[in-house]
């Protein structure tokens, strides 16, 4: 179990917190989705949880032990994939994995098999510097799996991938979860989060604004939403409203009766709309 309590992080020490008061718990074998717009602080939280960033305030515990008290053995059992592909450009895909495997003591995966799993078998002998962005992304993902980790940290593993390849990666993530791996997944993509995650946390400006299973979140906001376009002084505004909530119902009838509503669409509620509702901003 991973327990994160009241974590703050200030990069420059000037009182501008990139992350403030973040708390959550991830049970073993769950996929925990961390969602939020760019700059929300997602990577910062991952950095703190993996020990790459110093814990300034709050606590991070793995099965009850503080992250600060854990020695090198901690790194034996985690796998980390980074948002910016960080590979040895002068080494081939295969060599990158082979070398990385050599850093671990326990059993490791066969590099060739991993490359095959992420669709890079044909590129195994090419230097990583010659890989496309998506190929690098997949290689970094494969590298995170090399030591058969029991905890996976994945920072936007599917960003920049074509839909088919992204599917492949998502299937692998679910496979890992089913094998007992705990996954901390950072993403912009609400649909991915909806499909993959047992729990999602919405992060906005360094704070968690909602946290629950995707199903519960959608239930709380109603399974359907209404998108209303209004014209005020010639400008078009879009409102997303959830008829299950009283205040939204009131607003909806007001918009319609005042005659400012131009179009009204009823649709299935998505996490994205809930996020916009909560934060007033999209995930762009």
Partner 1 sequence: MKNALNQALRDWILAWRNGHVAVVLAIMVLMWLLIFFLPAELELSNPVAILDASHGASVRRAAAEAGMDGQMFAQDQADYDARMAADPNILGVSVRGTPDALSVTIEAGAHVPPASVAALRASMDAIIRLARGQTDGTEMETVVLRPGSRRAPLSLTGVPVFLVFEAGILGFLLVAVFVFQEKQEGTLRAYRAAPGGGAPYVAAKLAVFVGLSLAYGGGVLAAAALKGARPDWFGALGTLALSSAFMTLLGLGFATFFRNLSGWFFPGLGILLLNMAPFFSYARPSFNPAWIKAIPSYDALFLIRDYVLNPGTGSDAAAPLLRILAWTALAAVFCALAVRLRLLKE
Ligand X SMILES: Nc1ncnc2c1ncn2[C@@H]1O[C@H](COP(=O)(O)OP(=O)(O)OP(=O)(O)O)[C@@H](O)[C@H]1O
By CB under 6 A, name the binding residues for ligand X: 11-12, 18, 36, 38-44, 83
How far apart CA 224 and CA 161 sit, in angstroms, is 30
Collect all residues with Cβ–Cβ distance below 8 Å to 49 and sequence separation of at least 6.
2, 4, 60, 67, 153, 184
Cβ proximity to partner 1: between 102 and 234 the closer is 102
| Using rule CB under 5 A, residue 83 touches Mg ion | yes
Closest among 229, 227, 236 to 270, alpha carbons compared: 227
| Using rule CB under 8 A, residue 18 touches partner 1 | no
Q: How many residues bind partner 1 (CB under 8 A)?
A: 30
Interaction partner, residue 247 (ligand X, Mg ion, partner 1, none; CB < 5-8 Å by kind): none
Closest among 78, 100, 85, 97 to 152, alpha carbons compared: 78
Q: How far is the CB of 129 from partner 1 (least distance, A)?
A: 9
Sheet containing 224-232, strands listed edge to edge, beginning at the edge strand earlier in sequence = 235-241, 224-232, 261-268
| Using rule CB under 8 A, residue 132 touches partner 1 | no
Q: How far is the CB of 43 from Mg ion (least distance, A)?
A: 3
Q: Which stretch binds partner 1 (CB under 8 A): 14-22, 70-78, 172-180, 254-262?
A: 70-78
Show the DSSP H helices in the chain as ranges: 42-49, 73-76, 93-101, 111-117, 133-145, 163-178, 190-196, 214-220, 246-258, 271-279
Cβ proximity to ligand X: between 34 and 221 the closer is 34
Task: Provide the binding-site residues for partner 1, judged by CB under 8 A.
Answer: 50-54, 72-73, 75-76, 78, 80, 82, 84-91, 95, 99-100, 102-105, 140, 143, 147
């Amino acid at each position: 179990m991973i327990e994160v309590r009241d974590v703050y992080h200030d990069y420059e020490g000037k009182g501008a917190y990139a992350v403030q008061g973040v708390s959550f718990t991830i049970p073993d074998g769950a996929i925990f989705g961390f969602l939020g717009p760019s700059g929300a602080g997602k990577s910062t939280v991952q950095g703190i949880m993996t020990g790459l960033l110093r814990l300034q305030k709050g606590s991070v515990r793995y099965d009850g032990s503080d992250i600060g008290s854990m020695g090198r053995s901690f790194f034996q059992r985690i796998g980390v994939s980074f948002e910016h592909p960080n590979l040895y450009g002068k080494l081939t895909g295969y060599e990158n994995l082979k070398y990385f495997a050599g850093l671990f003591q326990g059993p490791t995966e066969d590099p060739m098999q991993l490359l095959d799993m992420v669709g890079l078998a044909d590129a195994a002998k090419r230097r990583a510097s010659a890989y496309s962005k998506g190929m690098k992304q997949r290689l970094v993902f494969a590298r995170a799996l090399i030591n058969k980790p029991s905890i996976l940290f994945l920072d936007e593993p599917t960003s920049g991938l074509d839909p088919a390849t992204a599917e492949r990666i998502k299937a692998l993530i679910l496979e890992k979860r089913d094998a007992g791996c705990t996954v901390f997944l950072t993403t912009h993509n609400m649909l991915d989060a909806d499909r993959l995650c047992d729990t999602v946390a919405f992060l906005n400006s360094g704070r968690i604004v909602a946290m629950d299973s995707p199903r519960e979140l959608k239930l709380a906001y109603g399974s359907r939403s209404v998108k209303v376009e209004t014209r005020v002084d010639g400008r078009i505004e879009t409102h997303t409203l959830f008829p299950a909530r009283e205040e939204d119902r009131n607003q909806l009838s007001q918009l319609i009766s005042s005659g400012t509503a131009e179009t009204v669409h009823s649709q299935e509620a998505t996490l994205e709309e809930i996020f916009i509702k909560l934060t007033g901003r999209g995930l762009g």
